């Protein structure tokens, strides 16, 4: 079965075509600047990248361009559009949805209804599904939600101690994000260690530009650091992560700022960008300077890693133990410095330690634990698209309407 995986932003479409026979990636690409001057498609066949520059007005036109590239005689990977068997869609906010779902009118309505929880992400996701159904009307479309995996969290983990009236009226609770990545990491960790997932307590650290940590007990998400929105938890590229909520009304009053302005500051002007005095948000820039003891970046990096360590400690407590800590995503997969500092500075008491030689790796699956460690530390590259394609295949092959995630 060949599955097209689509991730739509407001002006972009990311895609991958996978052959699920052997989980082989046939092609991937990114269409940028939809509806803006200078739209272009970067399409990959094998290691070869092809750039097509063409004005693209909307997502329907964009998907047609992508399909044309996929079936093209020279740069394509299938000979006919009919070779694509199904489409898997990444959807950011599913609210209380706990499964991956075959797209129906009801599912589209649910994505629409959850827009108030993810006003930046759900509308383009919805637009993408509608456009793909228009361009590929005869094959199944499956929605896979970033939030769904975390619906197993217990009441202690998902409840905010604010008046019930508001919790009920606005569905305010912890939802968590990066669920598809954390679920992939749970399974990949169990495969790597050759141990059943129900026997493992895993702390999955997805540390990229956006970052979150998940406590996975017996294969289920029992807590995660992002909350109602992706703003809570770890320090990120431009997001503050946890702060005292009293800072919000304080800034509004003292600086005469609107709610939108404060939200913009916390989402777009905080995090590493703020800690480096508005200089850097890419971790490589911060690390390179921290490594040569540039004071600002060294302190920023210490604050960043301290927050990660605090969450790992919290989740070891939440699960009453931990067997394995896994690093993934852009920074987690590629930064020996971060892994070494988080684990060797703070996690000795848990029985975790990183071997400095094994830790010198990037973008590979590897056990980087010190020989005498009782808690394993792994690096595993995440693969959200593959997880979406697996769900899509399972729903379609077994003719299901929904796939329960745990």
By the criterion CB under 6 A, which residues form the site for ligand AMP? 208-210, 237, 282-284, 287, 329-331, 334-335, 362
The answer to whether 146 is a known catalytic residue is yes
Residues 6+ apart with CB under 8 A from 355: 368, 369, 370, 371
CB 335 to ligand AMP: min, Å: 4
CB 221 to ligand AMP: min, Å: 19
CB 16 to ligand AMP: min, Å: 15
> In this structure, how many other beta carbons lie within 10 angstroms of the beta carbon of residue 399?
8
d(CA 1, CA 392): 10
Cβ atoms of residues 238 and 168 within 8 Å: no
User: Which residue spans within 243-375 are E strands per DSSP?
Assistant: 324-328, 366-367
Cβ atoms of residues 394 and 344 within 8 Å: no
For residues 68 and 209, which CB has a smaller minimum distance to ligand AMP in the complex? 209
CB 330 to ligand AMP: min, Å: 2
What tokens does 312 get?
A: 């790992």
CB 30 to ligand AMP: min, Å: 12
CB 26 to ligand AMP: min, Å: 22
For residues 76 and 332, which CB has a smaller minimum distance to ligand AMP in the complex? 332
Catalytic residue among 138, 146, 323, 367: 146
Nearest to 280 by CA among 290, 268, 288, 272: 272
For residues 95 and 237, which CB has a smaller minimum distance to ligand AMP in the complex? 237
As a 3-state breakdown, the chain gives helix, strand, coil percent values, each rounded to 5, of 40, 20, 35
CA atoms within 13 A on the CB side of 253: 5
DSSP characters over 68-123:
HHHH-TTT-S-SSGGG--EEEEEES--TT--EEEE--HHHHHHHHHGGGG-TTTHH
Nearest to 266 by CA among 290, 283, 249: 249
What tokens does 179 get?
A: 């669920």
For residues 282 and 394, which CB has a smaller minimum distance to ligand AMP in the complex? 282
Cβ atoms of residues 163 and 131 within 8 Å: no
d(CA 265, CA 250): 14
For residues 27 and 334, which CB has a smaller minimum distance to ligand AMP in the complex? 334
CB 177 to ligand AMP: min, Å: 12
335: exposed, middle or buried (Cβ count in 10 Å: 0-12, 13-18, 19+): buried
Q: Where are the alpha helices (DSSP H) in 42-139?
A: 59-71, 105-113, 122-135
378: exposed, middle or buried (Cβ count in 10 Å: 0-12, 13-18, 19+): buried
CB 23 to ligand AMP: min, Å: 21
d(CA 159, CA 149): 17
For residues 76 and 271, which CB has a smaller minimum distance to ligand AMP in the complex? 271
Number of residue whose CB is nearest ligand AMP: 330
CA atoms within 13 A on the CB side of 281: 17
DSSP strand pairing (402-404 vs 48-53): unpaired
For residues 225 and 334, which CB has a smaller minimum distance to ligand AMP in the complex? 334
For residues 114 and 181, which CB has a smaller minimum distance to ligand AMP in the complex? 181
- The kind and range of the H/E element at 187 are helix 179-193
**Residues marked as catalytic:** 146
């Amino acid at each position: 079965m060949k599955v097209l995986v689509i991730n739509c932003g407001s002006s972009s479409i990311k895609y991958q075509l996978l052959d699920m026979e052997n989980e082989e990636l046939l092609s991937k690409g990114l269409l940028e600047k939809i509806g803006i001057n200078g739209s272009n498609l970067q399409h990959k066949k094998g290691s070869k990248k092809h750039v097509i520059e063409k004005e693209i007005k909307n997502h329907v036109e964009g998907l047609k361009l992508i399909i044309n590239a996929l079936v093209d005689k020279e740069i394509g990977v299938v000979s006919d559009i009919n070779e694509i068997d199904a489409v898997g869609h990444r959807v950011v906010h599913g609210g209380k949805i706990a499964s991956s779902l075959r797209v129906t009118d009801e599912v589209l309505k649910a994505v629409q209804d959850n827009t108030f929880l993810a006003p930046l992400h759900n509308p383009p996701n919805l637009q993408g599904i509608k456009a793909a159904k228009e361009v590929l009307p005869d094959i199944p479309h499956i929605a896979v939600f970033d939030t769904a995996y975390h619906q197993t969290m217990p009441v202690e983990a998902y409840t905010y101690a604010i008046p019930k009236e508001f919790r009920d009226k606005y569905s305010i609770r912890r939802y968590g994000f990066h669920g598809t990545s954390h679920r992939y990491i749970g399974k990949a960790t169990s495969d790597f260690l050759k141990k059943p997932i129900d026997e493992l307590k895993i702390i999955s650290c997805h540390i990229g530009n956006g970052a979150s940590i998940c406590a996975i007990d017996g294969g289920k998400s029992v807590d995660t650091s992002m909350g109602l929105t992706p703003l809570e938890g770890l320090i990120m590229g431009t997001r503050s992560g946890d702060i005292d909520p009293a800072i919000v009304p304080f800034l509004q009053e003292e600086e005469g700022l609107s709610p939108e302005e404060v939200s913009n500051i916390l989402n777009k002007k905080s995090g590493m960008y703020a800690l480096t005095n508005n200089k850097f948000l890419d971790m490589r820039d911060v690390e390179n300077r921290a490594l040569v003891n540039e004071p600002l970046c060294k302190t920023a990096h210490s604050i960043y890693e301290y927050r990660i360590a605090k969450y790992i400690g919290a989740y070891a407590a939440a699960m009453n133990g931990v067997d394995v800590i896994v690093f993934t995503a852009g920074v987690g997969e590629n930064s020996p410095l971060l892994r070494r500092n988080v684990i060797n500075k703070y996690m000795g008491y848990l029985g975790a330690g990183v071997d400095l030689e094994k830790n010198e790796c990037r973008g590979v699956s590897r056990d980087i634990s010190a020989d005498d460690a009782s808690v394993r530390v792994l690096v595993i590259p995440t693969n959200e698209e593959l997880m979406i394609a697996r769900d899509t295949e399972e729903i379609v092959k077994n003719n299901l309407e929904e796939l329960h995630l745990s």
